[in-house]
Amino acid sequence: MTTSESELRIRELIMHRLSEMAAETGTVTREQLTAFPVADQMWKLVDQSRGIRNPRELEATLTVMSSSDGPYSDAELDGSLYRYDYRSGGDGGDNTKLRRAYELGVPIILLRKIRSKTFVPVFPVYVVGDDRDGKFFLLALDESIRFLANPQHPSEAERRYIARITRQRLHQPEFRGRVMLAYETKCAVCHLKHGRLLDAAHIIGDNEPGGEPVVQNGLALCKIHHAAYDNDLLGISPDYTVHINDDLLQERDGPMLKHGLQEMNGRDLHLPSLRLEQPDRDRLSTRFEKFQDAS
């Protein structure tokens, strides 16, 4: 079965525009998704009261929404797969066009709700399974997973690959979105507000114990301060104070070194307004010991 080139082109344009929109903060709002300008046309990427968007102009579903506080059992599964429960209507209703996305193999968009009216978009996502008995679809976070012999039971080599894909396509974008929201898209060290120049930095690396992708293990840092933090040229103590490597403080170079790093020494960290989203002091302590050893 095939779908039209025009429909594939529209999906491509929508996803490109969505990528540009999310680059600043990592998130998009319901307001942005409700009136979404693409190719001289205003598209609606979400419905008012349904978690699936089936535009009449398209042959298959365009977006699906998932929320941890919703009425369905949507969940990430082992193997870079996502369970998406049938919406009300059984084999028909909203599920008809999502089944059509499965038949045609067209890309769709997964909207992960992380706050009221705020979403992290994950795309392109593909429908790779339709369990009529269990009444759920299987979504793959990467096109290559569609071609595995058994996506639900991958080999060890395949498992390592799809674990990496899951981090890149699901965990990292959601981590960045949550961190940018917590820090109001502002560098915790220098207060730079340009989202495209900001990263969500891990306090404890995501491949280490305690390195979970949660806001308490994150810092919003501009590119230079993120690099300095990762290389132990900048440290943050558990009392939320910024420290610069002693050797770096003695160097004489130019305005970037002076104003961008040396003058940050002793500065108080900019913190999220919600206490529950502020950096975990134990994690900071562990990481700060590493900075002190390197100094």
Residue 85 has pLDDT above 50, yes or no: yes
pLDDT tens-place string over residues 173-220: 999 999 999 999 999 999 999 999 999 999 999 889 999 999 999 999
Give the pLDDT score at 1.
46
Give the pLDDT score at 181.
97
Average pLDDT over residues 93-103: 90
Mean of the per-residue pLDDT values of the chain: 89
Listed in order, strand segments (DSSP E) in the chain are: 28-29, 36-38, 41-43, 52-53, 63-66, 75-77, 81-85, 108-115, 118-131, 136-140, 198-202, 218-222, 234-236, 242-244
Give the pLDDT score at 142.
73
Residue 150 has pLDDT above 70, yes or no: no
Give the pLDDT score at 12.
95
Tell me the pTM. Answer: 0.85
Average pLDDT over residues 33-60: 92
